[in-house]
Structure 1
């Protein structure tokens, strides 16, 4: 008896999604609640679980198709796997036993069934063999970061530290090598998440009066505090003490004193908040996502660091939910982890401001009339000038700078 697999409820106001990849092929054994497909919504990737245990039946839709909530996308045949004949039976059984470890291997030269578009692009760009890479995503799936790491290890001659060993004769290139002088193009349909990101960011430029103010921060005090307390902090709270906790708490001070930076425009009204929900920009395999640290003004450093670490882990696994990214009154984006020296971050609508962090580097600065070398970071605040005046934006950024340079301010609310 065949059981229909339907698109589950995807979240408030979300009515459709795009089929990102099939995790099970017809004939594969599936367990109850085991993911059989991954759907891409405007914000997150959502796994579709099997409602029953049995054998994967027919795929009703293809990768890239748009499906609505409640639509039938596949069937699952209840019971055990059907008997097969001869060599085909042996191959089918072997493939089911290999299961998740082989999910990254291209089928008949086409990896669209087993790898997401982002991973496929990374494989082609870096020229690596996906069958030799151990996936770190959910259920052992390959992520873009896995491919990039494998490419780096390959170029440095240490590929065996992250790639599983494979017989040389069994390795097949992900794409035929281009002859000298050959130029190629590849057209890949934008994921639903990338389309939404594009629309939202363009909308921010079209609808807001964007402006950015800059400052620089001496990170000496924060670095000293981390070095002094990082071991005790990790032992007590079981989490690493990072920089984001400091900037989140410093932002709370600034938003309390300059409430317009924590507000947004709705129609002809300004909506102010007596709480701070900080959206933290996190890199995920399918694009940038912004999960929310709720009530950051009431949370300590340990809780904030744990929230951020959890978001980063689940973003990589693709398990963030709609609820994780709902709301947010202010955003922090850390381009410094990618080496950025300075940037003009763009606001996350309907929010009115975003704080951009950048890399720390030793620079000569003048302190008490003397030139000294200090670990400095440029920080940027992009804001909607319709709501936030230049004086307010500069004041908010200055408060953040002062709190980072003298962390005691965060303890005594200055």
Structure 2
């Protein structure tokens, strides 16, 4: 069992300074809009590999404080010099400390520390900590662009296989380099071939990791109780189609050839028309066969939660690091039966589980099991184990 013992936020989002020592799990955090509920979940998500539940840039995470003047211009920047998130956890191996943030004057990527020691690769955190989450923005997953669905899928892959982040970054760098070179009139074929080789190697590896996760999620199903529908995922990607029938090395050779032959077309369009960066995925209810894009908002939310629960169960298997569950407004769009089923399911997870909402009433099924906290402008009030919430709230 993994437990969150302490969380400290410094100059992060709307928090000047917060020190919180939760008493057990699950924790239900309620408060008005803008009180800092999502910010707190985001802070925890940043301790795991990846860019956090908002995917925000590092400079956006520091606390906004009107009246702070820029040293050179004298203008109000509204920003503090640095920010930090640190936490202490404990698991079967004992306590460990994880921290991330930026110091005053620091540029570039944020720092990661494990037990006070700086890490060269943030993926090293994955040996100790992982996280999955649901946010209200994800309710629009099936109606937004393919890039949004791709980011969602890649977050799930990174949680299972942290090296996937390196493959994605290398593929993105190579793709951007190729786009820049093609935008010029004079191009070196040998140079382009080297970049396309990197696109092929890293791109095929990235798609293969996506394909592996999709297969495992489809085999796992959603929810043993049947409260949430099982979803059938399928990758929409010519690279994935090839990988289903050919060895990876053969697919790499095919992709290199395709990229070479597409240079003139891609130069005119201004971007690569083939590669791992074009992957999309489709989702449908396994029982009814209805595509998620055609389902109601409530059914889409149920399918999404089904995927998250299946993924969390995969990561709870022996030999893996079970994830924190960070659920921002998870009950929105769910009917009463599925709300109760979700909360009952969460009691089985032996990891930190945090849920947020504007009102404690809908969380009544957890009144005897969860710790209820109230947030107001970044300040916590402990409301105990839901003593004030009637059973039928």
Q: TM-score range by the shorter chain?
A: under 0.3
**TM-score for both structures, normalised by structure 1:** 0.22
- Which structure: greater helix fraction? 2
Give the structure, 1 or 2, with the largest relative contact order (CA under 8 Å, sep 6 or more). 2
Q: Which has the larger radius of gyration?
A: 1
**TM-score for both structures, normalised by structure 2:** 0.23
